[in-house]
């Protein structure tokens, strides 16, 4: 039995990372039922309850060291954790775990990670150097692969897709209302210097759109802590019947997305779930990963200009947008499946076998 220690941005109440974790754990249960995954979490109690997995406090050095000593493998990922735009401290935390795993002679696997932006030359050198210790590396998009190449990694990397695309979407659908259409808005707290009014402007446009069409707008903060206040401000600007609806559990999040007629998202995983559940979507390109996923899935993405016009265009073209994304979904799920299979096989010390198309 392989004991695998997993590290990522888990237990913080961020929907995207919890979707990734659930997909990773589902892969272990399905393909390597004898493995024992252990998750480093900000909130180990909640992670254990919600995912049915053993979890340890990521901020407790003794607990982290104990779990690393007991583990056979260390799996880093997925999600966009190898970046320094949030802070260098976050990046150093994950790189320190890689170094500790290498020091203890553990198998090291990087699973479907998002790489960058890493702006500091020092941080780029540290990242490239640390990741050379990995037995297997997969990333979730071509931009991440290019970032590693620019860091001088000098080794093969598998470019896949985000593991959230493997999330089980077949149960718990919420019936769409026969009456008013539903627009689900996923806002994001943004730096005022870079995006001084984007969320406010988008909210105002959604409010006008709702009044014109009779649509209901649901505002869902994907990150409980970081996006909650911004989401409340957005709902107030939208006005009317806009509902602020924090998600509770992944099944509840699934129902919210599947019950929508259009998704407008400033977070990548809002687009990922829309693609998975075949709901038309419009991306707000607040960072490269949103724009990259929108392009991969065939969703329109707004960066600058006339947002009300972009919103009306997406609404009028929602059927063709949905069909375009649905046509690309099998390929994206196949890439996500292979990236995850490669990572789990390496973590369990097994040879990789090509996965069947999903």
pTM: 0.95
Domain borders along the chain are 3-159, 182-329
Same fold, 3-159 and 182-329: yes
Tell me, what's the pLDDT at 167? 96
Q: What is the pLDDT of residues 305-354, one digit of tens each?
A: 899 999 999 999 999 999 999 999 999 999 999 999 999 999 999 998 76
Confidence of residue 296 (pLDDT cuts 50, 70, 90): very high
| DSSP codes of every residue in 302-336 | E-SS-HHHHHHHHHHTHHHHHHHHHHHHHHHHHHH
Dihedral (Cα; 358, 223, 268, 336), 10-degree rounding: -30
On whether the CB atoms of residues 304 and 137 are closer than 8 A, the answer is: no
Tell me, what's the pLDDT at 346? 98
The architecture in CATH of the region 3-159 reads 3-Layer(aba) Sandwich (3.40)
CA angle 78, 347, 98 (to 5 degrees): 60
| DSSP codes of every residue in 119-144 | --HHHHHHHHHHHTT-SEEEESSHHH
Instruction: Please check whether the domain covering 182-329 is classified as CATH 3.40.50.2300.
Output: no
**In the predicted structure, residue 301 carries a pLDDT above the cut 90:** yes
Tell me, what's the pLDDT at 176? 61
Of 141, 115, 247, 237, which Cα lies nearest the Cα of 186?
247
Please give the structure tokens belonging to residue 268. Answer: 């990548």
On whether the CB atoms of residues 328 and 272 are closer than 8 A, the answer is: no
Tell me, what's the pLDDT at 304? 85
Tell me, what's the pLDDT at 355? 59
CA angle 254, 240, 188 (to 5 degrees): 50
Q: What is the pLDDT of residues 1-16, one digit of tens each?
A: 899 999 999 999 999 9
Confidence of residue 263 (pLDDT cuts 50, 70, 90): very high
Q: What is the pLDDT of residues 226-241, one digit of tens each?
A: 999 999 999 999 998 7
| Average pLDDT over every residue of 250-277 | 97
């Amino acid at each position: 039995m392989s004991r695998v220690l997993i590290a990522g941005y888990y237990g913080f109440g961020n929907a995207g990372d919890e979707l990734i974790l659930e997909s990773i754990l589902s892969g272990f249960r399905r393909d390597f039922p004898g493995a024992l995954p252990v998750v480093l979490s900000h909130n180990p109690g909640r992670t254990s309850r919600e995912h049915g997995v053993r979890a340890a406090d990521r901020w407790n050095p003794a607990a982290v060291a104990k779990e690393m000593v007991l583990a056979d493998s260390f799996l880093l990922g997925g999600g966009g954790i190898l970046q320094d735009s949030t802070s260098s401290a976050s990046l150093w935390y994950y790189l320190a775990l890689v170094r500790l795993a290498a020091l203890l002679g553990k198998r090291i696997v990087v699973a479907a990670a998002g790489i960058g932006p890493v702006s500091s030359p020092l941080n780029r050198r540290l990242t490239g150097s640390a990741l050379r210790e990995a037995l297997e590396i997969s990333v979730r998009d071509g931009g991440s692969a290019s970032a590693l190449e620019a860091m001088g990694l000098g080794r093969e990397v598998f470019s896949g897709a985000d593991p959230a695309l493997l999330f089980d979407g077949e149960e718990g659908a919420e019936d769409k209302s026969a009456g008013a259409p539903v627009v689900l808005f996923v806002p994001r707290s943004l730096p005022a210097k870079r995006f001084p009014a984007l969320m406010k402007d988008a909210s105002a446009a959604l409010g006008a759109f709702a009044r014109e069409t009779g649509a209901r707008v649901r505002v869902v903060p994907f990150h409980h802590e970081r996006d909650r206040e911004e989401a409340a401000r957005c709902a107030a600007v939208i006005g009317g019947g806009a509902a602020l609806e924090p998600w509770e559990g992944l099944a509840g999040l699934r129902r919210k997305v599947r019950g929508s007629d259009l998704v407008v998202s400033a977070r990548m995983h809002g687009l990922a779930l829309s693609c998975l559940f075949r709901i038309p979507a419009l991306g707000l390109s607040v960072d490269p990963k949103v724009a990259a996923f929108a392009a991969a899935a065939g969703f329109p993405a707004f960066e600058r200009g006339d947002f009300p016009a972009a919103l009306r265009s997406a609404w009028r073209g929602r059927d063709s947008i949905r069909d375009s994304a649905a046509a690309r979904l099998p390929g994206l799920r196949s890439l996500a499946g292979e990236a995850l299979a490669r990572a789990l096989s390496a973590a369990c010390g097994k040879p990789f076998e090509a996965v069947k198309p999903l």
